[in-house]
């Protein structure tokens, strides 16, 4: 399904989050090393971003490196960091031509200096773009950001900047690294795994999940359209009953 005739262009998720998984297994199945799989993964990112923009998705969040991924072999971690720097340098002009604004979530200060500089540069050069925001989750862990939020809010209470009664779920959202980014309506994970792996635990409270058996390098335009089709055929009840939803519409 690569044409758009099946989907409702007036009901496109504003924010799609993706756990891009399976680069290593894709590489293995092609007799290549894992880093080759990761660089193929960048091609899939390019195509996905292009399609998301075409469909008027406003935020695309990609899980690119988790806090737990530091535990991988050093060679792979270094390869991934180099690939990040290289890809940012390669893509920046096209991002600007296409109105892509780059942002990050995660503990960016814990990234290697060179990555931090490339990211800062790319974020700065794309900050006025308005078509779509590409959010890269780097050195990201949901438990980390929730822990940081708890520390920040406790300090604010201790310093009497806020009182306990002012803590609402909106205030909590405003103290996560995803502040100013709406919660994703759709979360896609490739590679056949059916788990969340410490990604956006707070933000996916009412998100629809699409799990695909293909590896990330095989994901592209038609798979994104198909995932949106799947999303559009779900009934999002938010705790209500079907009849209420249909009356609201
Ligand atoms: C996802 O692919 C990319 C990253 C986590 C950086 P993997 O590298 O996890 O690929 P598999 O899961 O080992 O196949
Ligand atoms: C999740 O993939 C993290 C990213 C896609 C960056 P992993 O491959 O690290 O997840 P697990 O370890 O299989 O849960
Ligand atoms: Mg994996």
What pLDDT score was predicted for residue 3?
Answer: 78
Q: How far apart are CA 202 and CA 183, in angstroms?
A: 9
Domains contained in the chain, number = 1
Which listed ligand is nearest to 195 at the C-alpha? 2
Query: Cα–Cα distance between 198 and 143 in angstroms, integer?
Result: 7
Q: Give the pLDDT of residue 115.
A: 98
pLDDT (0 to 100) of residue 249: 56
Decide if 164 is inside a domain.
no
Among the listed residues 3, 11, 33, 69, the single catalytic one is: 69
Tell me the ligand closest to 189's alpha carbon: 2
Q: Which residues contact 198 (CB under 8 A, 6 or more apart)?
A: 66, 67, 68, 140, 141, 142, 143
Exposed, middle or buried, 142 (CB in 10 Å: 0-12/13-18/19+)?
buried
Q: Is residue 112 part of a domain?
A: yes
Which protein residue's CA is at the shortest distance from atom 9 of ligand 2? 69
Q: Return the ligand 2 atom nearest residue 137 CA.
A: 6
Is 163 among the domain residues? no
Q: What is the pLDDT of residues 131-157, one digit of tens each?
A: 999 999 999 999 999 999 999 999 999
pLDDT of residue 159: 98
**For the chain, which residues score pLDDT lower than 50?**
none
Domain of 228, CATH number, reads 3.40.1180.10
Place of tokens 């406790």: 154
pTM greater than 0.85: yes
> Would you state the pLDDT for residue 149?
98
Contact 133, 103 (CB under 8 A): yes
Q: Active-site residue 21, yes or no? A: yes
* Ligand 1 pocket residue status of 22, Cβ below 6 Å: yes
What integer pLDDT is reported at residue 246 of this predicted model? 86
In a domain, 67, yes or no: yes
CB 192 within 8 A of CB 211: yes
Asked if residue 130 is part of any domain, the answer here is yes
**Domain annotation covers residue 176:** no
Q: Give domain status of residue 167, yes or no.
A: no
User: In this structure, is residue 19 part of a structural domain?
Assistant: yes
Locate 207 and state its tokens.
């998100």
| Residues whose beta carbons lie less than 5 angstroms from ion ligand 3 | 21
C-beta of 219 in contact with ligand 1 (< 6 A): no
**Structural domain containing residue 59:** 15-141+183-234
Q: Are 207 and 187 in contact (CB under 8 A)?
A: yes
- Give the nearest ligand 2 atom to 24 CA: 8
Choosing from 8, 10, 21, 82, which is the catalytic residue? 21
The tokens of 51 are what? Answer: 């399609």
């Amino acid at each position: 399904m690569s044409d758009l005739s099946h989907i409702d262009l007036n009901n496109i998720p504003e924010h799609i989050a993706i756990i891009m998984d399976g680069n290593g297994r894709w590489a293995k199945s092609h007799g290549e090393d894992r880093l080759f799989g990761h660089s193929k993964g960048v091609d899939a990112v390019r195509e996905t971003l292009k399609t998301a923009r075409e469909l008027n998705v406003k935020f695309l969040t990609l899980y690119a490196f988790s806090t737990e991924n530091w535990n991988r072999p050093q060679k792979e971690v270094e390869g991934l960091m180099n690939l990040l720097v290289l890809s940012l340098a390669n893509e920046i002009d096209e991002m600007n031509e296409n109105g892509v604004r780059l942002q990050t979530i995660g503990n960016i200060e814990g990234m290697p200096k060179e990555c931090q500089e490339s990211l800062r540069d790319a974020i700065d050069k794309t900050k006025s773009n308005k078509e779509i925001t590409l959010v890269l989750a780097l050195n990201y862990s949901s438990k980390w950001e929730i822990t940081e939020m708890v520390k920040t809010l406790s300090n604010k209470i201790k310093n009497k900047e806020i009182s306990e009664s002012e803590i609402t779920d909106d205030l909590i959202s405003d103290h996560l690294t995803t502040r100013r980014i709406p919660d994703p309506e759709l979360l896609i994970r490739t590679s056949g795994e059916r788990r969340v792996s410490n990604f956006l635990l707070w933000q996916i409270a009412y998100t629809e999940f699409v799990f695909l058996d293909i590896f990330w390098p095989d994901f592209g335009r038609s798979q994104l359209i198909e995932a949106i089709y799947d999303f559009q055929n779900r009934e999002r009840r938010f705790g209500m009953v079907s009849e209420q939803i249909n009356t609201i519409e």
